[in-house]
Structure 1
Amino acid sequence: MRIPQFFGSFKDLTYLNLSHSNFEGLVPNHLGNLSKLQYLDLSNNYYYHENIEYIDYYDNFHSLLSIDSMRWLSRLSMLEHLDLSFVNLSRATDWFSSINMLSKSISVLRLFSCHLSNNILHHLPLMNLMSLVSLDLSKNRLNSSFPLWVLNNSGLAHLHLGGNHFDGSIPDSIGTLTSLVELDLSDNYFNGSIPESIGRLKSLSSLDVSFNEFKGLLPESIGSLTSLTKLSLRYNRLEGLIPKWIGNLTTLSELQLSNNEFEGLIPESIGYLTSLTNLDISVNNFQGLIPHSIGNLSELQNLFVENNQLSGSIPECIGGLSNLKWLYLGSNSWEGFVTERHFVNLTMLIALEISSKSNLTLNIGYNWVPPFQLRYIYVESLKTGPEFPHWLLTQTHIVGFRMKNTSISDTIPTDASLLSQAGLVDLSSNDINVEQLSSIASCPNGLITLALSNNRFSSEFPLFLCNITSLDTLVISNNNFSGELPHCLGNLNRLRYFDVMNNSFSGVVPVSLGSLVNLTYLNLHKNMFQGKLPMSFQNLKELVALDVGKNNLSDILPPWSGKNLPHLKYMILRSNNFFGEIPTQLCHYPSIQLLNLAHNNIRGSIPPCFGKFRAMITGDNDGIYPGFSSYYGQMIRKDIS
């Protein structure tokens, strides 16, 4: 449904709100006839279509309305409030000049995710926009240094510039915007240090500079911003200690410091932040103990301290945080015991992660019934077995289940509903045998990730896995499976990651693997496969990594063209019986970064075109593939190194 043309005839209209109305098509220029209009809201007319390949969540929102020229806006001389969020302005190259011609009385301007053309100016010789109270230019990928013209709006209370490509340093003059209540500069390329002048913004309640390139120490002036309820500094390169003045910010409800280079001890003064609901200090270099003052944070719902160098025992006072929902303690150097007292009042807990690089043991009684129902449990390198923890059988809503390197050798009971809703099951690095897989065989067809590497499986490939057609990731590496891979693997048409490295599989590589057109990672390394590589592999157009090294394959080198496998970065064929000359088709892989043909029976000369592997020169070896975790790429990483 389009916006009716007759709307432009309502000459005396002062308020027009068409948000969330599912209007589509071009916004009619006739709206420029509404000369008395003071409030215009065309926002949030979009449809949502999820694409897992989109990095930015908001790329899933697709505008229904568009504007090809914004000149008509200049006729709205009384406009005070304009919200065009999610209106597509990509063809309105005059957007900035038209916005600058708006009435000097305009106080609210929201252009969130409008696909703005990148012609924003750093400063303007003539500026009409001087009365703004709220400005939102978020999620437009604007490319410029900090727009200095914003500073002309001394009454600005809400400034949102997140999700763009702004770069350079933040000017000290940011401190002149003393009316600011919200400042969002997140997800840009700002760098340098956070200016001390930020401490002049005494009315600030929300400061978000996450996902930038800021470095250095925290300015001490932040400690005077006693109205702050949200402070987000995550994903920068900030360093040094958490200063003791953090305890001055007693109104904070969110403190996010993750993914920086902070170090030292967590200060006892953290316990003064009794309004905190979210505390995230993960992925830093914090050391020592969690202070017992953490037990004062009675409102805390989310506690993330994973991936640090914390040590000693986990304080039992955490068990008194009755509002806690997410508790992540993984990848530290905890010692001692985890007992019932750590969970005694955690009735709202839905996610638990615990792992240790040191000696940590789960010491919970057989008959203990936990006060919570978990949806996610991620336990790694925590001595739990050999018996399967009986208390886990009380958990009936598990979506993500990881018990990795926990010394379990017991059978998982099949009469429990523990895995009845699981989308991820990881039992890697235990002592489980194939007879104990019956509980996984009873999983509903909704399982997405199954990781069983580093156990003692010694049977043929479990055929029930072919029936779990929802699988995206299947990792059974480093076991002693034998026999042939079954043709029914072709049923797994959603499979993207398949790893059977370091087993004793034999026979030919099944042709049906070539029908898995979503496959991006295929690892058959160190088995006993014979014969040829299937020609059907040419159909794997999404393939990024292929490792068939250390087998008994005997064939000419695959003459596939780069047009067949345009995304291939890693091809490992070493230690087989490939023979003949190197085909020149191998030169035509545009993305190839690693090509290993060693220890075969190849003859002839190296084609001169090998010198034109551009990705080997420019590629940055960014892991294996975006989104790969520790499940994948063990052998490929060794080849890279």
Structure 2
Amino acid sequence: MWIYLITTNSLVGFFPLWPNVTYLSLSRNRFSGPIPLNIGHEMSNLQILGLSRNSLTGSVPPSLSKMKSLEALDLSRNYFSGNIPRDWTGLQDLEVIDFSNNNLSGEIPSSMCSQLPSLKWLRLSNNNLSGNLESSLQTCRNLSALDLTGNNFSGTIADCIGENLHTLSYLLLKANKFTGNIPHQLCHLSSLQVLDLSQNNISGSIPACLGGLKQMTTGDSLRSDRMMNLTSTNRVHIDLNVKGVEYEYIDHVIGLIKKFDLSSNNLWGEIPEEVKNLMALGSLNLSHNHLTGKIPEGIGSLHKLEALDLSSNHLWGLIPSDMTSMTSLSKLNLSFNNFSGPIPSANQFPTFDPSSFEGNSGLCGPPLPIQCSSTSPNDPDVKVEEDEEDKYGNLWFYASTALGFIVGFWVVFGSLVIKRSWRHAYFQFLDNMKDKLCFCFWK
């Protein structure tokens, strides 16, 4: 068995062919030109092929299907173009495919997953791919990670992702052209710990059932035997923006990340109360949508949350005081909403940058320079209470007036109906008054 690890150098030239090599990593060099079309025939014993971060061009050679022992294929961060090969027959052991950050186009072959029964890690981010995911992913039943970030996929998010991909832990569909609602089938993905649907055209409300995603609600990181075997045998990596900065996470570190990102879509309605159940989350981003209502009570139970972004929505009301118990929170953005009242003053809240709260005319208190009065006139809660008081005051006024009229009427006229002597006396009194008035008039 021959192993060649020649990474992070400045080697130049064309790709070399070395027969009998089983493990070849030439990542982070300056190799250029195409991969030889006959690589699958000349290097049929390869188990690991890592060529990321070079300047390779051309298409992905179809002869790769001849490498019957191949377990991991990483061609990321090059300049490959053309379509993804359609023939993957015979690659029974291939677990990792990473073609991210290239210029590939066309669709994901519909037969790809059915021909790769062991495929667990499919990363095709930042290419020019398009098409219908329903037919392409129907048979991808063993995937742990699906990263299609930064492509041109359109239509609705395929229901089959939630119905068939039960082992999925990482679902990244960021920066595509998806429309429609978030399918409720995603709630069936009990292993999901990274969900990124940001920068699409998704509409509708946030399904409340997403608050029950098991891996995001439990405190244990995903360390199943299946994932452990994958990351220990074949190096995998993924790019994630967790605190406003994008980092590349590799191997076992990936299992520690738990992220929920629906930002930059057209979502409306309120934030589901069930979001407070996602107690293992490290990052929650719902910014740049059309969400309304208040921040759910009990959100302070998200003690592991390090980044929370709810900016650029239509949220209102007070900032819940229990958010001060989120002591791991180091990045907060509540800007450009309709929040009002005092900013919580305990723990790290006064230390957040003032920009975290800008665009909320009713907020006051540190770190903003606006001091709080005893009651804030812009507080929607105060306005609601005043409106409620006015409404009920008017109701009581009209009700008491009507009741007084009815009672007074029946006290007077009811007694006349019941008491005959009173009735005669009353009408005799009226007759006397009439006679006196007439006498005065004629006089």
TM over 0.5: yes
Which of 256, 260, 267 lines up with 2:147 in the alignment? 256
Which of 13, 35, 40 lines up with 1:119 in the alignment? 13
| Equivalent residue, structure 2, for 1:404 | 335
Cα 1:191/1:424, change in 2 over 3 Å: farther
| Equivalent residue, structure 2, for 1:483 | none
Cα 1:274/1:343, change in 2 over 3 Å: farther
Q: CA deviation at 1:408?
A: 2.0
Cα 1:180/1:366, change in 2 over 3 Å: closer
- Cα distance in 2 for partners of 1:376, 1:181 equals 36
Letter in 2 for 1:210: S
| Equivalent residue, structure 2, for 1:215 | 105
| Equivalent residue, structure 1, for 2:346 | 415
1:296 is aligned to 2:191 = no
Letter in 2 for 1:168: G
1:240 is aligned to 2:131 = yes
- Cα distance in 2 for partners of 1:131, 1:341 equals 55
1:267 is aligned to 2:158 = yes
| Equivalent residue, structure 2, for 1:131 | 20
Which of 388, 399, 407 lines up with 2:319 in the alignment? 388
Q: CA deviation at 1:410?
A: 2.5
Equivalent residue of 1:144, what SS?
A: strand
Q: CA deviation at 1:213?
A: 0.4
Identity of aligned pairs, percent? 31
Cα 1:182/1:211, change in 2 over 3 Å: same
| Equivalent residue, structure 2, for 1:140 | 29
| Equivalent residue, structure 2, for 1:182 | 72
User: Does structure 2 retain, via aligned residues, the 8 Å contact 1:362–1:382?
Assistant: no
- Cα distance in 1 for partners of 2:286, 2:322 equals 16
Equivalent residue of 1:396, what SS?
A: coil
1:305 is aligned to 2:197 = yes
1:229-628 matches, within 5 Å, as: 229-271=120-162, 272-324=164-216, 325-344=258-277, 346-358=278-290, 360-364=291-295, 366=297, 369-418=300-349, 420=351, 426-431=356-361, 436=364, 438-439=366-367
Cα 1:412/1:423, change in 2 over 3 Å: closer
Q: CA deviation at 1:131?
A: 0.6
- Cα distance in 1 for partners of 2:312, 2:360 equals 10
Q: CA deviation at 1:406?
A: 1.5
Q: Cα deviations across residues 393-448 of structure 1 (Å, max 9, x unaligned)?
A: 2211212111121112322132343355x589533322167xx352369xxxxxxx
- Cα distance in 1 for partners of 2:322, 2:99 equals 42
- Cα distance in 2 for partners of 1:342, 1:411 equals 24
Structure 2 gap segments, 5+ residues each: 217-257, 372-443
Cα 1:390/1:137, change in 2 over 3 Å: same
User: Does structure 2 retain, via aligned residues, the 8 Å contact 1:206–1:229?
Assistant: yes
Cα 1:181/1:423, change in 2 over 3 Å: farther
Cα 1:175/1:278, change in 2 over 3 Å: same
Which has the higher mean CA deviation after the structures are superposed, 158-167 or 171-180? 171-180
Cα 1:376/1:364, change in 2 over 3 Å: closer
- Cα distance in 1 for partners of 2:121, 2:127 equals 17
Cα 1:368/1:263, change in 2 over 3 Å: closer
User: Does structure 1 retain, via aligned residues, the 8 Å contact 2:84–2:109?
Assistant: yes
Cα 1:395/1:440, change in 2 over 3 Å: farther
Cα 1:424/1:234, change in 2 over 3 Å: farther
Count, aligned residues: 327
1:55-66 matches, within 5 Å, as: none
User: Does structure 2 retain, via aligned residues, the 8 Å contact 1:112–1:139?
Assistant: yes
- Cα distance in 2 for partners of 1:202, 1:253 equals 17
Cα 1:365/1:264, change in 2 over 3 Å: closer
| Equivalent residue, structure 2, for 1:108 | 3
User: Does structure 1 retain, via aligned residues, the 8 Å contact 2:295–2:319?
Assistant: no
User: Does structure 1 retain, via aligned residues, the 8 Å contact 2:294–2:318?
Assistant: no
TM-score (norm 1): 0.48
TM-score (norm 2): 0.68
Larger radius of gyration: 2
Q: Cα deviations across residues 150-176 of structure 1 (Å, max 9, x unaligned)?
A: 430111111111110001112222222
Cα 1:303/1:368, change in 2 over 3 Å: closer
Q: CA deviation at 1:367?
A: 6.0
RMSD over aligned CA atoms reads 2.4
Q: Cα deviations across residues 337-395 of structure 1 (Å, max 9, x unaligned)?
A: 11322332x1201110003443x224455566434431000112223224223342221
User: Does structure 1 retain, via aligned residues, the 8 Å contact 2:321–2:344?
Assistant: no
Equivalent residue of 1:323, what SS?
A: helix
User: Does structure 1 retain, via aligned residues, the 8 Å contact 2:353–2:367?
Assistant: no
- Cα distance in 2 for partners of 1:423, 1:182 equals 44
- Cα distance in 1 for partners of 2:354, 2:117 equals 43
1 or 2 for the larger relative contact order (CA 8 Å, sep ≥6)? 2
User: Does structure 2 retain, via aligned residues, the 8 Å contact 1:175–1:201?
Assistant: yes
- Cα distance in 2 for partners of 1:280, 1:365 equals 26
User: Does structure 1 retain, via aligned residues, the 8 Å contact 2:175–2:198?
Assistant: yes
Cα 1:424/1:138, change in 2 over 3 Å: farther
Letter in 1 for 2:6: L
- Cα distance in 2 for partners of 1:362, 1:299 equals 30
